[in-house]
Amino acid sequence: MKRLVINKIVLALSTLSAVLGLAFLAWILITLFVKGLSSFHLSLFVNDLINNGLRNLIIGQFILAGMASIIGIPLGMVAGIYIREYGRGRYANIIRNLSDIMMSAPSIVIGAFVYALVVVPTGHTSGFAGSIALAIMMIPIVISTTDSMLSLVPQELREAGIALGASKYKVIFDIVIKSAKVGIMTGILLAFARIVGETAPLLFTSQTSNYFTLDLTQAFPSLSVSIYDLASDVQTSSRDLAWAASFILTVMVLVINLTGKFITRNKK
């Protein structure tokens, strides 16, 4: 009898913790929607921060993440291909583990690293520095998705290609990557969603700017960094703007994230 009661209690507690987890999610999202929408206005997309808008910040955030993708995706994919297709034994395994460790490296430390590497020699913060910091965060994520997606491709496909006389890189590009395409793209989308909401690596690499700019050699507007500045501002109008910006940032991140997940689910 006692066993059954304990069983019931534990199961109830487990269910309760799941409810608690969902409650936190709901709490945060509802807060964002209520606070964000109350100060949301379409003019936010037209004006720059200097005129109490967010246009330059949103565009800037995407450009930073886009530049990071241009650097990070090819490097990460090619490295992932090496680990799965070329690498033999020990070395590939070491790189795989190091890449996993790098994935969990504190983002602020990556910011400090890029600061010392790029900002100090050039003398000022720049969009490039921010993109490099984000790219360093992105590379290990792309490596690990490429690696695991390629591992799902059946060995027989590769053997069939080789039996037809194709060279190894032809097999990789025309057969292996083609069949893993959807998975890799999804992984890249999720990696993008992950870095587009990042703040810490940008704080002292790209900083942020009140003005619209496309010049990556100067301080570059960033939505997330500006949220940090605005949210700690004493003026309520700034804080309202911060809530609207947070709402937009979260919607952006969640939409990209959910799109990625939706593609994977449809594929299955």
Partner 1 sequence: MEKIFQKLSFSSATLVFIILLGIFITLFNAARPAINEFGLHFIVDPVWNKEVPLTTPTAKTSTVQASTTDDNIAVNPDDFSEDDGMGMDEDEDSVPTKTVYGGLVPLVGTIFSTLIALAFAMPIAMGIAIFLAEIAPKNISSLVGGAIELLAAIPSIIFGMWGLYYFAPIVADLFGGFQVSLLTAGLVLGVMILPFMAAITRDSMNTTPDILKESAYALGATKFEVIKDIIFPFSKTGIIGSIILSLGRALGETMAVAFLIGSIFELPHKVTDPTITIPVALANNFGEASGVGMSSLFYLALILFVMSFGVISFAKFYFLRKVN
List the interface residues with partner 1, window 99-118 (CB under 8 A): 99-102, 104-113, 115-117
Three-class SS of residue 124? coil
* Contacting range for partner 1; rule: CB under 8 A; set: 50-58, 155-163, 164-172, 179-187: 164-172
**All residues at 6 or more sequence positions from 210 whose CB lies less than 8 Å from its CB, including other chains:** 48, 49, 50, 56, 221
Q: For the CB of residue 263, give the shortest distance to partner 1 in the complex, in Å.
A: 14
Asked if 146 contacts 127 with a C-beta cutoff of 8 angstroms, the reply is: no
d(Cα 178, Cα 150) in Å, to the nearest integer? 10
Nearer to partner 1, 169 or 211 (CB): 169
Nearer to partner 1, 105 or 160 (CB): 105
Q: Angle 2-38/236-267 helices, nearest 10 degrees?
A: 120
Q: Is 43 in the site for partner 1 (CB under 8 A)?
A: no
Among 164, 169, 182, 237, binds partner 1 (CB under 8 A): 169
Q: Is 6 in the site for partner 1 (CB under 8 A)?
A: yes
Q: How many residues make contact with partner 1 (CB under 8 A)?
A: 83
Q: What's the longest Cα–Cα distance across the chain?
A: 73
Q: For the CB of residue 249, give the shortest distance to partner 1 in the complex, in Å.
A: 6
Q: Is 14 in the site for partner 1 (CB under 8 A)?
A: yes
Q: Is 231 in the site for partner 1 (CB under 8 A)?
A: yes
Q: Is 129 in the site for partner 1 (CB under 8 A)?
A: no
Q: Is 214 in the site for partner 1 (CB under 8 A)?
A: no
Q: For the CB of residue 261, give the shortest distance to partner 1 in the complex, in Å.
A: 7
Q: Which amino acid is at 233?
A: D
Nearer to partner 1, 46 or 95 (CB): 95
Asked if 231 contacts 199 with a C-beta cutoff of 8 angstroms, the reply is: no
Residue-by-residue DSSP string for 142-183: HHHHHHHHHHTS-HHHHHHHHHTT--HHHIIIIIIHHHTHHH
- For 117, which DSSP code? I
Q: Is 137 in the site for partner 1 (CB under 8 A)?
A: no
Q: Is 168 in the site for partner 1 (CB under 8 A)?
A: yes
Q: Is 71 in the site for partner 1 (CB under 8 A)?
A: no
Q: Is 182 in the site for partner 1 (CB under 8 A)?
A: no
Q: For the CB of residue 136, give the shortest distance to partner 1 in the complex, in Å.
A: 6
Nearer to partner 1, 29 or 59 (CB): 29
| 236 burial type by CB count under 10 A (0-12 exposed, 13-18 middle, 19+ buried) | exposed
3-state secondary structure 8-51: HHHHHHHHHHHHHHHHHHHHHHHHHHHHHHHCCCHHHHCCCHHH
